[in-house]
Structure 1
Amino acid sequence: MPRAHRLVLIIAILASFVSFLDGTVVNVALPAISAELGGGLATQQWVVDAYLITLGALILVAGSLSDVFGRIVVLRVGLIGFAVTSIAIAAAPDPLFLIIARAAQGIAGALLVPSSLALIMSTFRGAAQGRAIGVWTAATTGAMVVGPVLGGVFVDALSWRFVFLINVVPIAVTLWLLVVLGQRDVRRPGATVDWSGAVLCTVGLGGIVYALIEQGTFGWGSPAIWGTMTIGVLAFAGFLLRQRTARQPMMPLSLFRVRNFWAGNITTVFVYAALSLNGLVVVVYLQQGPGLPATLAGLASLPVTLLMILLSSRAGALAGRWGPRVFMTAGPLLMAGGAALLLTVSEDFDYWWQVLPSMLVFGFGLAVTVSPLTAAILGAIEPARSGIASAVNNAIARVAGLLAVAALGVIVGGGLDLRGFHRAAVVTAALLALGGLVAFAWVRKPEVSDEEPAPR
């Protein structure tokens, strides 16, 4: 691999790692944040969702920004913004400041992953591109392993504030490597940004999430709740209408005419909503219920990630041979069974018999699901539009997680005690079962040519 290509790959990995790492460390820190700053469950929800609102709304815009201003410029702005907001979060004096800073961090995060992938796509060609994406995927998956554990160690040994400073060093290294790279930026003539769509999407998601989180405080009958919910729904409907009429839409609705694409994305909604709900509830409850230290709470779900790393590539290969439908059906149903096993958790807590079996079954189901799901969605779209198809699926996954976390108060009944934990486990299992049933009903094996392509 030429030196310039190697530098590009390292830069893309580090920039994406920053965003993925933040998404995995924050859940472990939530009980400590709530204990120091106050605000209870609502603060914990907002710390997660303030980031996801701006990230989910703007992740589709990032591709357009890269075309207009250049990939390296957008990546550099995202890195600097992420560093500044991380420092601001670490210094937050109260919940409101922290939540606003998290929303700003989501804007910066939205610029990182799409720009990183765009940099790889524009630098590598042919088989080298596939290998580069494989290395990028393997390296960024490492954030799922080290994030919860590293976050737990920082919370226990230092403070939750240091959790948000973890990213500063890799960001500084990435910015230096961009200078070393010295690559000339590329802009696409005639490219535009759909700012109207971005505003409508952000207002839509923000209104819906505000109503879901704050209904526990004001009640559904309050104008502050039903009013913002109405505004959110109307704004999001306006966003979808805008996508039909925009000259360069953020989310081309024509993609959803393809069967496996729309069916796969419906499955994504159920599966990733369940993943976000389960990931948050388990790590927070283990600290607030049985009283595990943050480090052990972070380690509790490690079997899930390890099984995914060990088995997902094999599942992807088998799905390529047999088709994705059986895997996208069996995987979520296995995960539903794993979530249901959490109902064995009792006041007399025992991780090895009550939590570990759930993590093993859940992890096996996740490994069976993710690669076939991704392959089914992207394989349904012609290669020329694979970039936007991937961005749309990524945004849908983020928004599904956003709404699941926003609805946490409704799901658990206001407090994450043992009863609320069990209610969350039931909802998680139901969402996953629905995802499996959708895949069984509508996903089909892609048609392939009888002639295999010649090996490279």
Structure 2
Amino acid sequence: MATVTNGVGYDPRRWWALGALVASMLTLGFDMTILNVALPTMAEDLGATTGEQQWMADAYVVVFAALMLPAGLLGDRFGRRLMLITGLGIFLAGSVVGALAGDVTWVVAARAVMGVGGALVMPLALSVLPSLFGPDERAKAIGVMSAASALGMPLGPILGGWLLDHYWWGSVFLINVPMVGIGITACLFLLPETRDPASPKVDTVATALTVTGLGALVYAIIEAPTRGWGDPLVAGFLGAAAILLAGLVLRERRAARPMLDMELLGHRGFLVNTITATLVTFVLAGLLFLLPPYLQAVLGHDALGTGLRLLPMMAGLMVAARGAQPVVARFGPRAVVTCGLVVLAFAAFLGSRTTSDSGYGFAALWLTVTGLGFGFAVVPAMDGALAALPAARAGSGSGLLMTLRQVGSAIGIALLGSLLAGVYRDRLDVTRLPARAADTAGESVVAAHLVAERTGTPGLAASANSAYVHGMGVVLVVSGVAALVAALLAGAFLPRTRPASDTGSETPAMAEPEADARQ
């Protein structure tokens, strides 16, 4: 295929090319949720503490968030197909390293490498679409891409659970190999090369400030429950994070063509909707981290059963996401976003009433309501954020929105996971255990069950279950408060915009790919 610079002229094999992009997005969709189901098994086999489990999840998200914008610029300058294939290759390498890893350090390193690959794949897979499809076909193509990405979320836990029941935990990494292989092959033969020679250069200093600043912040949050917030190391990393991120903001504000266009936050509609979407992502990431240990260690389900039991939340989210636009057209985005956040808060407060004897039926109820709240809050919020901007700023706006949501995900795993770890450790009764066994039991609920089995300590497993559920309840209360704060912000400060059917605004999926192509 010839190189396309301006997107004029559409290849007759474009729908086959879309298949290459679908395979890429489906792989990333799997990876968002498949690891969560595997974490309890990995904690048992690798002896990973709660903090180390947080790093296994967060290493990917931190790198992904920090590199997404410069990755898009690399594609604009050097060719989107070339960088997309490079990203898939890096993701493949990280997956192989993760599958073969023998300790936590190598798993974390593998996840970070996968984050580099994911950061290249996500924006570039979207930005290729305008060069493949005309306006009359683009909406359908974007719908297929969005469905592929969304399909990976519920399928991830089920596929991960099935793999863990039949193979070792490394199989959740190895499953990426055939998917990525299909994606690379299809990209090589079916995708045209596209680029934008006028795009700005990658700001290596801003990229370095983003990576180190976010990394220092997440490290401090994860280490705080063990070391204490007043520990010199924790305080030092928090201070370093503040300095680095402040330096990033100052540099981007002075740049003629910044990667992170901070001026966009001056648009009230964009700012409030972005804060809302980021807070929702913060809560979702935290819940997906804490739920698998509850379902496996406390309720005693196997990995596949755990994946299946996460479906009520995923189903609620997808149903609400599909039904959000008609409701917005009837009542307006401000009302729908606010009500969605209130529903999310109610679900979190309801879930905080869970006890170690509640059983799955009660969990299924509040998980379903949680998914509904997520869907009705985040879809109109993303739509409203992009619709609040002039068309010429849609590219930088979608990039900033996607980046801040990933930052919210990383901090959600770090902060809510650390809160859970601290409450669990304080609540666990280890009075009858030797010091070393007590320390091990305090690392995670999975470790406590192993210690109870090996030492025959009466009541330790029950104490661990009770402590974990109590910590989960505290996390859900905090999540509910965060959702209520977001609801108050949305209700008070979102503009009184007309329903989407009257304004003719684009959906977020429609806006993002075109926007990224212009960056």
Q: Is there any run of 5+ residues in structure 2 with no aligned partner, and where?
A: 1-9, 425-444, 446-467, 505-519
Confirm whether residue 121 of structure 1 aligns to residue 122 of structure 2. no
Give the corresponding residue for 2:3: none
Deviation readout 1:243-296 (Å, 9 max, x if unpaired): 111232111112112111000111122211111111211122211222221112
Residue number among 485, 489, 511 corresponding to 1:434 in the alignment = 485
Aligned counterparts of 1:57 and 1:441: Cα–Cα separation in 2: 31
| Contact in 1 for aligned 2:80/2:193 (Cα 8 Å) | no
| Contact in 1 for aligned 2:131/2:194 (Cα 8 Å) | no
Give the corresponding residue for 1:68: 77
1:84 Cα shift? 0.6
CA gap 1:67/1:427 in 2 versus in 1, 3 angstroms: same
Confirm whether residue 81 of structure 1 aligns to residue 132 of structure 2. no
Give the corresponding residue for 1:382: 390
Aligned counterparts of 1:19 and 1:397: Cα–Cα separation in 2: 16
For these two proteins, the number of residue pairs brought into alignment is 452
Confirm whether residue 348 of structure 1 aligns to residue 357 of structure 2. yes
CA gap 1:148/1:219 in 2 versus in 1, 3 angstroms: same
Residue number among 325, 328, 333 corresponding to 2:337 in the alignment = 328
Deviation readout 1:27-71 (Å, 9 max, x if unpaired): 101111111111310111000111111111111212211111111
Aligned counterparts of 1:329 and 1:255: Cα–Cα separation in 2: 22
2:403 counterpart letter in structure 1: A
Deviates more, 1:211-220 or 1:252-261: 211-220
Q: Is there any run of 5+ residues in structure 1 with no aligned partner, and where?
A: none
Deviation readout 1:108-157 (Å, 9 max, x if unpaired): 11111100000013322323222211221112111012111111111122
Residue number among 371, 375, 379 corresponding to 2:379 in the alignment = 371
Query: Equivalent residue of 1:84, what SS?
Result: helix
Aligned counterparts of 1:231 and 1:156: Cα–Cα separation in 2: 43
CA gap 1:25/1:182 in 2 versus in 1, 3 angstroms: closer
| Contact in 1 for aligned 2:286/2:412 (Cα 8 Å) | yes
Give the corresponding residue for 1:172: 181
Give the corresponding residue for 1:142: 151
Give the corresponding residue for 2:472: 421
Query: Equivalent residue of 1:108, what SS?
Result: helix
Confirm whether residue 396 of structure 1 aligns to residue 447 of structure 2. no
CA gap 1:290/1:182 in 2 versus in 1, 3 angstroms: closer
Aligned counterparts of 2:338 and 2:393: Cα–Cα separation in 1: 26
Deviation readout 1:414-435 (Å, 9 max, x if unpaired): 2361211111111121111122
Aligned counterparts of 2:371 and 2:396: Cα–Cα separation in 1: 29
Give the corresponding residue for 2:438: none
Aligned counterparts of 2:490 and 2:36: Cα–Cα separation in 1: 29
Aligned counterparts of 1:448 and 1:288: Cα–Cα separation in 2: 46
Aligned counterparts of 2:502 and 2:298: Cα–Cα separation in 1: 58
Query: Equivalent residue of 1:407, what SS?
Result: helix
Give the corresponding residue for 2:455: none
Residue number among 173, 194, 206 corresponding to 2:203 in the alignment = 194
1:351 Cα shift? 0.7
1:48 counterpart letter in structure 2: A
Structure 1 stretches of at least 4 aligned residues deviating more than 4 Å after TM superposition:
447-453
Residue number among 239, 261, 267 corresponding to 2:270 in the alignment = 261
Give the corresponding residue for 1:286: 295
Give the corresponding residue for 2:427: none
1:322 Cα shift? 3.2
Give the corresponding residue for 1:361: 369
| Contact in 1 for aligned 2:272/2:489 (Cα 8 Å) | yes
1:366 Cα shift? 2.1
Aligned counterparts of 2:395 and 2:417: Cα–Cα separation in 1: 35
For the pair shown, the structure with the greater C-alpha radius of gyration is: 2
Deviates more, 1:78-87 or 1:336-345: 336-345
Aligned counterparts of 2:414 and 2:30: Cα–Cα separation in 1: 21
Confirm whether residue 5 of structure 1 aligns to residue 56 of structure 2. no
Aligned counterparts of 2:403 and 2:500: Cα–Cα separation in 1: 31
1:162 Cα shift? 0.1
What TM-score, normalized to structure 1? 0.94
1:265 counterpart letter in structure 2: T
Q: CA RMSD in A?
A: 2.0
CA gap 1:449/1:235 in 2 versus in 1, 3 angstroms: closer
Deviates more, 1:372-381 or 1:123-132: 123-132
Query: Equivalent residue of 1:221, what SS?
Result: coil
Confirm whether residue 210 of structure 1 aligns to residue 261 of structure 2. no
| Contact in 1 for aligned 2:158/2:307 (Cα 8 Å) | yes
Confirm whether residue 184 of structure 1 aligns to residue 193 of structure 2. yes
Deviation readout 1:340-360 (Å, 9 max, x if unpaired): 2223322224111x2011022
Query: Equivalent residue of 2:352, what SS?
Result: helix
Give the corresponding residue for 2:255: 246
Confirm whether residue 408 of structure 1 aligns to residue 416 of structure 2. yes
Deviation readout 1:82-106 (Å, 9 max, x if unpaired): 0010010111111111111211111
1:2 Cα shift? 5.9
| Contact in 2 for aligned 1:20/1:144 (Cα 8 Å) | yes
What is the aligned-residue identity percentage? 31
CA gap 1:376/1:409 in 2 versus in 1, 3 angstroms: closer
| Contact in 2 for aligned 1:12/1:120 (Cα 8 Å) | no
2:399 counterpart letter in structure 1: A
CA gap 1:449/1:163 in 2 versus in 1, 3 angstroms: closer
